[in-house]
């Protein structure tokens, strides 16, 4: 069987995490993947991030930590992490959704999130699906002649 790369946009809006009074330190999302997910190929979690000034960001899919990263510079950037796509099948809930959680931990010494906050946006999961080879004969002519 052949494979095809595809993706699922999880969220296109920004959310900000931190430990200041007006901010939350975690954000919960969910998304679906098709039944023909190729679990032998790796997947990629990608997102845009804008940390200020020092913060640690964690992300997990279906209770498997995918990202644990300390950011200590302020410029906005894209971040991606390759992970096993088998995580996407193992954690499906009863409605077929995968959970994706971002959080900023407390009390991690030098990387403590108490020092700053982080804005995350444009979260996308890339993965591969299997497709049938030889999908049959070409479609018949529409009857239009040139």
- Condensed to tens digits (0 to 9), the pLDDT of residues 6-55 reads 999 999 999 999 877 777 889 999 999 988 899 999 999 999 999 988 88
Instruction: Say if strands 117-131 and 42-52 run parallel, antiparallel, or are unpaired.
Output: antiparallel
CATH match for 2-131 among 3.40.50.800, 3.40.50.1260, 1.20.210.10, 2.60.120.260: 2.60.120.260
Q: Is the pLDDT of residue 142 over 50?
A: no
What pLDDT is stored for residue 146 in this prediction? 41
| pLDDT averaged over every residue in the chain | 83
Q: Is the pLDDT of residue 121 over 90?
A: yes
Place of tokens 């644990």: 68
By percentage, how much of the chain surpasses pLDDT 90? 55
Between CA 15 and CA 21 the distance in angstroms is: 15
What is the token pair recorded at 3?
Answer: 């494979």
Q: Is the pLDDT of residue 89 over 80?
A: no
Q: Which of 3, 90, 87, 73 is nearest to 44 (CA)?
A: 87
Domain boundaries in the chain?
Answer: 2-131
Confidence of residue 59 (pLDDT cuts 50, 70, 90): very high
Partners of 119 in the beta sheet?
A: 16, 50
Between CA 107 and CA 129 the distance in angstroms is: 40
Q: Is the pLDDT of residue 60 over 90?
A: yes
């Amino acid at each position: 069987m052949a494979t095809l790369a595809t993706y699922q946009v999880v969220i296109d809006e920004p959310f900000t995490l931190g430990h200041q009074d007006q901010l939350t330190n975690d954000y919960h999302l969910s998304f679906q993947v098709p039944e023909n997910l190729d679990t032998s190929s790796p997947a990629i979690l990608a997102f845009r991030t804008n940390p200020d000034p020092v913060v640690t960001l964690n992300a997990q899919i279906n209770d498997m930590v995918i990202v644990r990263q300390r950011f200590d510079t302020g410029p906005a950037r894209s971040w991606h992490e390759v992970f096993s796509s088998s995580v996407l099948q193992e954690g499906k809930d009863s409605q077929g959704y995968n959970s994706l959680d971002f959080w900023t931990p407390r009390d991690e010494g030098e990387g403590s999130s108490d020092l700053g906050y982080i804005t995350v946006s444009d979260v996308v999961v890339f993965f591969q699906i299997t497709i049938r080879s030889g999908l049959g004969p070409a479609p018949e002519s529409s009857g239009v002649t040139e």
